[in-house]
Amino acid sequence: MIKLVSVIGTRPQIIKAAALHRSIQSNFRDQLEEIIIYTGQHFSDDLSINLIDELALPSPHFHFELISENRANRIEEMNTKCQEVLHKEKPDFVIVYGDTDTTLSGTKAAVALDLPLVHIEAGMRSYNNEMPEEFNRIYCDQHSSLLFTASQTAYNNLIHEGFVFNKELNANSENPKVIQVGDVMYDNYIQFEKHIKKHSLDLLKSYNVDNSPYALITIHRNYNTDYPEHLNNILSGIHNYSLENKFKCLLPLHPRTKKALEEPELEKIKEKISNNPYFEITKPLPYLDMLSLITNAELIMTDSGGVQKEAYFAEKPCIILRTETEWTEIIESGSAVICDSDQVSIINTIQTFLAKKNLSFPPIFGNGNAANKICEEIISTHHNHKEINR
């Protein structure tokens, strides 16, 4: 039996881990054993713990209670706790996802104990070195044995950076293997698509959008929430268009954004939104509710990498509230536009997308079988390692 330890701590990582867990349980349970560490990076149950239940992940075998509020100290605390678990469990592979501080902490722990590292969603690049996520993903890629990419662009990024695999040797951190498998988040979308359609009608009625077009909005990145001017510009642009055109907007409110809206500089826009009958703020929503609302929306506006992709899966136009995106293919397809926090650009792009028909959504994220391919490659690599060391 091959032992895996998956390190997760945020909502997107739970979603990705759910696809891998489902694949293991359905097709590889006689070959793969999975241990789950939940670092507790997301403190909110609405963002993480409830999602574990919703996606039928087992309760984490290890659930950290973090005490550090400072980011650097929190990373070190997660690293230390991960090392303790990994030392005890002695897995054959450590699996990390994406580019969060949990990813970085799990990577550091695996490196410290000289354990093979698997990076799911490797090769993403924003080329914005001010993003903490950019450092995290590069550091993780540089220390991984198996790098699974979600898109061809991510694969190309790694090849251009010099990741070359020697087929005569087994994969390890000195001889990393890059494999394009597609996106495990798309696996989930395919898995739950029928449920989404069945679930949608009652949900849309509950938000009073069953008979009218609407936009779904998510904002949580620190460069939007930590800078009142950015957040004010974004919300003002959306509010102004919504009110003038009687266009409904739904904003599930991330805890970080909720806290930011308490700042005095944002008091006016908060009051305007509260008085806008077409603008509704909700608490963070369950995963399937979010997918249903994305699937039925006329337009998505987000600074989330995951929501950008989910909009693409659902073939919905997307306004990216950032200066860049890792998912450059969706920009190239014409289905998404970067607007950052510019009010005029946001309003103009809303108008353009709502008038535009026949957007293109080529199949760039695989065929919904990424998790199975990942499991097969892990098993193959483990067997090769045993053969080489006989």
In the block, which residue shows the tokens 């136009």?
Answer: 317
If asked whether residues 21 and 136 sit together in one domain, one would say: yes
- Contact between residue 302 and residue 308 where contact means Cβ atoms under 8 Å apart: yes
Which tokens is 328 given? Answer: 């450059």
* 341 inside domain: yes
Up-side HSE of residue 76: CA atoms within 13 Å toward CB? 6
In 150-183, where does DSSP find H-type helix? 152-160
Interacting residues of 207 by C-beta distance below 8 A, sequence separation 6+: 214, 250, 280, 282, 293
pLDDT for position 107: 98
pLDDT for position 44: 62
Choosing from 119, 220, 254, 382, which is the catalytic residue? 220
If asked whether residues 232 and 101 sit together in one domain, one would say: no
pLDDT for position 248: 96
If asked whether residues 291 and 341 sit together in one domain, one would say: yes
Using CA atoms, how far residue 92 sits from 2, 87, 271, 290, in Å, is: 6, 12, 54, 35
* 255 inside domain: yes
* 361 inside domain: no
If asked whether residues 337 and 194 sit together in one domain, one would say: yes
* 360 inside domain: no
**Residues linked to residue 4 through DSSP beta bridges, in sequence order:** 34, 93
390 residues of the chain, pLDDT tens digit each: 999 999 999 989 999 999 999 999 999 999 999 999 999 887 665 556 688 888 889 999 999 999 988 999 999 999 999 999 999 999 999 999 999 999 999 999 999 999 999 999 999 999 988 889 999 999 999 999 999 999 999 999 999 999 999 988 899 999 999 999 999 999 999 999 878 877 777 888 888 888 889 999 999 988 899 889 999 999 999 999 999 999 999 999 988 899 999 999 999 999 999 999 999 999 888 899 999 999 999 999 999 999 999 999 999 999 999 999 999 999 999 999 999 899 999 999 999 999 988 899 999 999 999 999 999 999 999 988 766 665
pLDDT for position 176: 97
If asked whether residues 195 and 317 sit together in one domain, one would say: yes
pLDDT for position 368: 95
**Residues linked to residue 35 through DSSP beta bridges, in sequence order:** 5
If asked whether residues 241 and 383 sit together in one domain, one would say: no
Would residue 199 show up in a list of annotated catalytic residues for this protein? no
pLDDT for position 350: 95
Residue 203: how many other CB atoms lie within 10 Å = 18
What CATH number did the domain enclosing 260 receive?
3.40.50.2000
* 154 inside domain: yes
pLDDT for position 211: 80
Measured over all CA atoms, what is the biggest interatomic distance in the chain, rounded to whole angstroms? 72
Which tokens is 183 given? Answer: 């996106």
pLDDT for position 389: 60
Q: Please state the φ and ψ torsions of residue 61, each to the nearest 5 degrees.
A: -70, -30
If asked whether residues 12 and 53 sit together in one domain, one would say: yes
Number of structural domains in the chain: 2
In 207-323, where does DSSP find H-type helix? 222-225, 228-245, 255-260, 267-274, 287-296, 305-313
If asked whether residues 130 and 233 sit together in one domain, one would say: no
Provide the residue range defining the domain that includes 176: 2-183+366-388
In 120-253, where does DSSP find H-type helix? 132-142, 152-160, 184-206, 222-225, 228-245
